[in-house]
Amino acid sequence: MRSGCIGNFIEYEEIQLTGDSFGHCINSTQCFSPDGTKIVYDARNDDSLITANGEIRIFDIASGKDILLYKTTNQSEYGPGVGAATWSPDGKMVLFLGGIQNAGKERPYSITRRTGIGIALNQPLIPVWMDARDIVPPFTPGALRGGTHAHTWSGDSKWISFTYNDHILSNAAKTDPSLIDTRTVGVMFPGKVAVSHADGVENKSGRMFSVLISPVVKNSQPGSDEVLKAFDECWIGIDGYIKRNGQRQKRAIAYQGNIIEKNGGH
């Protein structure tokens, strides 16, 4: 945008930055580089079509240069799909969700079949699997059994929050209605997780150790804080916050949760 001053008002002139035929879908948070000169985005033309999108790109605002950062292989209308890219606060890496690579008509992209993919800015096109995935019992500590998305970096670029849906529970709940199959939230932090039977597709080793942090229940007690579904998490502060006792809480997140009110309302 260009600006000019008229009286006490500032008048802005909009300037179209790109004319490419592919889409330019930016995430709701952390889409700008730390210095504000570049934007990371995915090439969707429609917000609902993440399944069919195969590209993550960077646009340089000053030069107008557009750079391909990552491209899926064997992309189809069924996946794997990539999107919702975020830029780490230290400027070293971009992170986005990606569907499982063997996605196809029989096993399409879904909320339980996706993971966090990182790309170091000095090594474009080379994926780094952030959260480990293991869907084979007895499972691996630190690995997840389903799909992550809505990844957000902590202020120091070391931890990542995410929303999560469990693949094992989702399948089991189809025949056992007593099981809790719902969305929750978690965090991952530095600590490599090695999955012994990793095949690089359905089961992957990862750079980060993941934990789920919000207990969820199938039937919430009216008027209680029992959460039926947790979602839309975010980090509090760039460096946490100061507690009432004067000590610093280094990291903390907030999230929304569905509960049941005393009168039975949701």
pTM for this prediction: 0.91
Angle at 210 (CA atoms; ends 204, 124), nearest 5 degrees: 55
Render pLDDT for 152-192 as a digit per residue (tens, 0 to 9).
Answer: 999 999 999 999 999 999 999 999 989 989 999 999 999 99
| Cβ atoms of residues 87 and 37 within 8 Å | no
Regarding beta strands 128-129 and 146-153, do their DSSP bridges make them parallel or antiparallel, or are they unpaired?
A: unpaired
Nearest CA to 32 out of 100, 85, 105 is that of 85
Q: Based on C-alpha coordinates, what's the Rg of the chain?
A: 20
Render pLDDT for 34-80 as a digit per residue (tens, 0 to 9).
Answer: 999 999 999 998 888 999 999 999 999 999 999 999 999 999 999 99
Angle at 130 (CA atoms; ends 126, 135), nearest 5 degrees: 115
Residue 114 identity (one-letter amino acid): R
